[in-house]
Structure 1
């Protein structure tokens, strides 16, 4: 059954109890809207119904008043819920809960909101204490049922709010599970702004002879937009849209403004640029923590910020009366999204302005939306931030630039709104940890660490007590400068070395310049002479650190190689019976020259392959020999073969 708009009366005339009517009158709600006037008599009678009306026409009170009145006043011995409202988003759950609490002010009904992003413990404690109505999202409801904290066996009234949005978000399997958990004898109400085919199929499956209530305003179109909203559609360039928005936000008479973007990244980009330009702005999207999302919405309602940049997650359930402008920064995906976006303004009989930007590559999509809704913007006007019609149509003062003057920056900003500790179950995934620069606490400076040097468990001279050092330190013989470690050297050796001029020699001349034989014969001497040690250290140095070749001895002064070899052999033969000192440098290994092999004649045979044949080996016959043997064989073959002639 479809009903047209009826004559407005009071809530008391519709059969609402005095407690609920008085609570609504206290909040200034005295006259019901068309959808409330048509749906309340049927809902109070216990019938299943489908409510369809434009956004912002009071659908929440249409089912909320009937649910609260059917449940009645709370009882102490009744802890399990009797009413259940399923919503698609957290913001809508919070909005519906506030409206139900307002209507149940004098009844004292216990309303609990459950959704993701909050801690489980407060919700579980409230369920144990007892509730009458639960408003929640499908995911958290099923989680609480799975953990056996929530029992839906006594539900008498079920409401699906914004059912088309739940289907778009993929909640249909969760909704079917919820239907299986509640009793079959119940009242089911389904409310939505649009009515796609999936909603009709769902109502036929789970609703019992529902009544279709549809509040219209002069047209039969399901996607009819709010008539109180003046719509403006411009074709704009992507790089110029932020400049147009900055000028639009300085229009005369502008109140709260919502800017809708297609992606979360676009929301962050637009909010950051508007913040740099001096506007009090905040963002709301799915990557924000629940505490940050509620903080932004509270600041927007309280007037601490006047610009809210959001995705379609805020296109439903945001019921704020003072929103005067809605900006579609990105073209909506379809006609339903467009209707819900611009429905955030012009609510409850007020007027508003909706500005939509369409880029060149989005023209095809916009023409489909325009055709579905029957609008007159098939060819949007090409617009830039310096176009004259921008100032005239939006009532922007002449000479306005894209930066808000400092004298007009009177809003407190998002930092003035406190973030509630909700015990969030997930981490914050926004840039900067989800806080603005003003809110970030500086990390305290680290105190300098007191360090004490110890050796062997005892403090060193830098500490409180010194450490006893041994008189003789061990010497590493394998170190590069082990030979330079001072040893016990006599005074005569030092004087003899200083008196002689210092000469650098090659490794082969060490034996001729230093008295190696005398040092190795005397085991009592601990170290070698200084000259020999210095020459040994010089030999171990890299080539780059040695002196140039020009400073060495000339070739004429060098001893022949044969004499050096003879002296080295003589020293080795003399030292065979003596044991070298542990500090002495080991003698260099004797270098053997390889013997040169000179063949007697260049034509000599160097290698000859061995003959592997033996006397027992038979010589293989040649091909001619094999053919000769075949000719000698008889034609008929041997025995009684097939080639033998038959006798007789």
Structure 2
């Protein structure tokens, strides 16, 4: 048995997760492993710790290659790997060189990094093939190939590239397959790569019900389809949650939600698969630092995101599969902190959601919306009283009305965003068939005459009402 207690102590870890207990020993003993485990179950440490422990640092050549579907996941793995490497250096002066190579970054700089012959390379499949084709990576000392989030790599169309990588690496490698789900394409790759494999499966519920048993609450809010967005706006506007992820099925839904939420003055952005790497990095940096409050994302785009102290996950669209619900929910309630997994259930989907909870053996309850919505109502009354007592209003004319299906919330969101007004600067709103009158703070509107604003993606003219 490998003794890892002193290394765990250096990393301030007191207990191994289920996946770590089942994988560390066989991986250290050079066995190939196929592990099915949900996101957030601790699989990164499960393969990194044994691999780095058995590295031969006297050989200056790549010994481990780790393939990942996204740059974000690769950077997270690189950070964990470097932390382990630092602990090993402190414990036994073992100097491990780790390098990452991803698309969206100049390949010339990465070629120079490969000339340093790192022991561990973390890469996306496309960039790995580029470097292998250029003969920039030595593979004669390669011992291990890890595929992390293999199902997502397949889902993103990397299966052919992974198969091509086989042609460049030694035939007898230790292989580590780590995946949240198993499908036909994964099985094909398994047959191509794996021989004499140790199969490990972690219960889908394990992440939620083991060490963090009571940390995640599962609640649902029943709503009509046409009221779903309004309910989401109310929840996010309540200032009850300082950060959260909202999950949708499609990029179109993500884009539509983000557009509408921004019109209501919410600090929100979207994450979808087609975003460029620079844009994606910027969004994630702002979300992790708190400059961005809410993130709307598809399942694939959000895979690999690891944000600490995330208080809420909202399922705007209920996931099709039980395991996807577990993966989404597992992003909150981490490291002993509490979290809420909230499903917005259209009336026709309530039974589907309840059956899913029953299959996962998870307790759930109706969302206590009164505590949040009453808070909104109290704030609105308080603001209205403040407006009445302290602010002098003027009335402005907008050349859009009921014909364009605009609503008071659309106007408020637009005025907050484009005119830099606060909620208390906006008074009564009167919407007629062909135009609208809005009362606003006269001090704030002093220098604005005949301006244009966007309301529901329509350009509207705002002038002093006569």
TM-score, scaled relative to structure 2: 0.69
Matches within 5 A, 1:219-230: 228-230=215-217
SS in 1 for 2:172: coil
Aligned mate of 1:132, from 86, 100, 119: 119
Q: Is it true that 1:104 corresponds to 2:85 in the alignment?
A: yes
Matches within 5 A, 1:65-144: 65-73=49-57, 78=60, 80-105=61-86, 106=89, 107-144=94-131
Q: Is it true that 1:36 corresponds to 2:57 in the alignment?
A: no
Give the aligned length: 376
Cα deviation 1:417-454 (Å, max 9, x = unaligned): xxxxxxxxxxxxxxxxxxx99xxxxxxxxxxxxxxxxx
Cα deviation 1:30-57 (Å, max 9, x = unaligned): 4322221232122112211222333212
Tell me, yes or no, if the aligned pair for 1:57 and 1:347 is still in contact at 8 Å.
no
SS in 1 for 2:270: strand
The 3 A distance-change label for structure 1 pair 153 and 395 is farther
Q: Which residue of 2 aligns with 1:309?
A: 296
The answer to which of 244-253 and 60-69 deviates more is 244-253
Matches within 5 A, 1:292-371: 292-359=279-346
1: CA distance, partners of 2:350 / 2:230: 21
2: CA distance, partners of 1:230 / 1:181: 47
Cα deviation 1:149-181 (Å, max 9, x = unaligned): 234343211111112222333322222222332
Q: Which residue of 2 aligns with 1:440?
A: none
Q: Which residue of 2 aligns with 1:399?
A: 377
Q: Is it true that 1:16 corresponds to 2:15 in the alignment?
A: no
The 3 A distance-change label for structure 1 pair 248 and 64 is same
Tell me, yes or no, if the aligned pair for 2:20 and 2:45 is still in contact at 8 Å.
yes
Per the TM alignment, residue 371 of structure 1 is displaced from its structure 2 partner at its CA by 7.7
- If you compute each CA radius of gyration, which structure gives the higher value, 1 or 2? 1
Please identify which structure carries the higher strand content: 2
Tell me, yes or no, if the aligned pair for 1:109 and 1:132 is still in contact at 8 Å.
yes
2: CA distance, partners of 1:60 / 1:313: 18
1: CA distance, partners of 2:10 / 2:145: 23
Per the TM alignment, residue 62 of structure 1 is displaced from its structure 2 partner at its CA by 0.4
Tell me, yes or no, if the aligned pair for 2:37 and 2:179 is still in contact at 8 Å.
yes
Tell me, yes or no, if the aligned pair for 1:252 and 1:397 is still in contact at 8 Å.
no
Q: Is it true that 1:59 corresponds to 2:43 in the alignment?
A: yes
Q: Is it true that 1:168 corresponds to 2:146 in the alignment?
A: no
TM-score, scaled relative to structure 1: 0.51
Tell me, yes or no, if the aligned pair for 1:91 and 1:314 is still in contact at 8 Å.
no
Per the TM alignment, residue 303 of structure 1 is displaced from its structure 2 partner at its CA by 2.0
2: CA distance, partners of 1:400 / 1:89: 44
Per the TM alignment, residue 84 of structure 1 is displaced from its structure 2 partner at its CA by 0.8
Q: Is it true that 1:390 corresponds to 2:369 in the alignment?
A: yes
SS in 1 for 2:221: strand
Cα deviation 1:70-95 (Å, max 9, x = unaligned): 224365xx2x4211111122221222
Cα deviation 1:211-239 (Å, max 9, x = unaligned): 22334488899xxx987432223343444
Q: Is it true that 1:245 corresponds to 2:229 in the alignment?
A: no
Tell me, yes or no, if the aligned pair for 2:271 and 2:302 is still in contact at 8 Å.
no
Q: Is it true that 1:50 corresponds to 2:34 in the alignment?
A: yes
Cα deviation 1:486-538 (Å, max 9, x = unaligned): xxxxxxxxxxxxxxxxxxxxxxxxxxxxxxxxxxxxxxxxxxxxxxxxxxxxx
1: CA distance, partners of 2:97 / 2:195: 28
Q: Which residue of 2 aligns with 1:145?
A: 132
Tell me, yes or no, if the aligned pair for 1:260 and 1:327 is still in contact at 8 Å.
yes
The answer to which of 126-135 and 258-267 deviates more is 258-267
1: CA distance, partners of 2:65 / 2:334: 26
Tell me, yes or no, if the aligned pair for 1:251 and 1:397 is still in contact at 8 Å.
yes
1: CA distance, partners of 2:29 / 2:119: 20
Cα deviation 1:288-341 (Å, max 9, x = unaligned): 221221122122222222211222234321122211101122233433333322
Tell me, yes or no, if the aligned pair for 1:14 and 1:37 is still in contact at 8 Å.
no
Tell me, yes or no, if the aligned pair for 1:260 and 1:328 is still in contact at 8 Å.
yes
Tell me, yes or no, if the aligned pair for 2:37 and 2:204 is still in contact at 8 Å.
no
Q: Which residue of 2 aligns with 1:580?
A: none
Matches within 5 A, 1:521-560: none
Tell me, yes or no, if the aligned pair for 1:247 and 1:400 is still in contact at 8 Å.
no
Tell me, yes or no, if the aligned pair for 2:40 and 2:207 is still in contact at 8 Å.
no
Per the TM alignment, residue 196 of structure 1 is displaced from its structure 2 partner at its CA by 4.1
Give the aligned CA root-mean-square deviation in angstroms: 3.7
Please identify which structure carries the higher helix content: 2
1: CA distance, partners of 2:161 / 2:214: 35
Cα deviation 1:121-161 (Å, max 9, x = unaligned): 22122112322211122122112222332343432111111
Tell me, yes or no, if the aligned pair for 1:17 and 1:69 is still in contact at 8 Å.
no
2: CA distance, partners of 1:370 / 1:31: 28
Tell me, yes or no, if the aligned pair for 1:391 and 1:398 is still in contact at 8 Å.
no
SS in 2 for 1:175: helix
Cα deviation 1:556-577 (Å, max 9, x = unaligned): xxxxxxxxxxxxxxxxxxxxxx
Aligned mate of 1:193, from 170, 180, 187: 180
Structure 1 unpaired stretches of 5+ = 1-12, 384-388, 406-435, 438-648
Tell me, yes or no, if the aligned pair for 1:258 and 1:327 is still in contact at 8 Å.
yes
Q: Which residue of 2 aligns with 1:288?
A: 275
Tell me, yes or no, if the aligned pair for 1:252 and 1:396 is still in contact at 8 Å.
no
The 3 A distance-change label for structure 1 pair 370 and 196 is farther
